[in-house]
Structure 1
Amino acid sequence: MNYTIKTEGLHCGHCDASVETELMKVAGVTDADADHETNTVAVECADDVAPEALEAAVVAAGFKAVSIAAA
């Protein structure tokens, strides 16, 4: 399953890396690619990963998840 997360507050590559690191800690996430220029994160994960877990990871990195959509 693929998700696109719209975020707020990503300003640089360090921000991208922080979000990617937290998302990769979520069981079932196989890839996370954050882009501070568009404030989006592309996530690849197993079908049983809950969007709420992805949102929690973004928040744990210190940012806001505005929306999460299946891609």
Structure 2
Amino acid sequence: MKYIIHTEGLHCGHCDAAVETELMKVAGVTDADADHEVNVVEVEAANEIDPASLSAAVEVAGFKTVSIEAA
């Protein structure tokens, strides 16, 4: 399953890495790819994940979740 997370506050590659690291800690996440140029994170998961868990991981990394879409 794929999720698209729209964020605020990603400014550089370090920001991308911080978000990716936290998202990879969420059970079921198999890949996370953040792009600070468009403030979007693409997440691959083995199964359905509660969007609140994804949002919480983004916030732990220090950024804001604007929206999450299942793709």
Tell me which residue corresponds to 1:5: 5
Mapped partners of 1:19, 1:46: distance in 2: 19
For structure 1, the 5+ residue unaligned runs are: none
Tell me which residue corresponds to 2:30: 30
Mapped partners of 1:26, 1:16: distance in 2: 16
Mapped partners of 2:45, 2:15: distance in 1: 21
Point out 4+ residue stretches in structure 1 off by more than 4 angstroms: none
Q: Deviation at 1:22?
A: 0.1
Structure 1 position 69 matched with structure 2 position 55: no
Tell me which residue corresponds to 1:58: 58
Mapped partners of 1:6, 1:62: distance in 2: 14
Structure 1 position 20 matched with structure 2 position 20: yes
Q: TM-score, normalised by structure 2?
A: 0.97
Q: TM-score, normalised by structure 1?
A: 0.97
Q: Name the SS for the 2:43 alignment partner.
A: strand
Mapped partners of 1:47, 1:26: distance in 2: 12
Q: Name the SS for the 2:33 alignment partner.
A: strand
Q: Name the SS for the 2:26 alignment partner.
A: coil
Q: Name the SS for the 1:69 alignment partner.
A: strand
Give % identity. Answer: 73
Aligned positions, number = 71
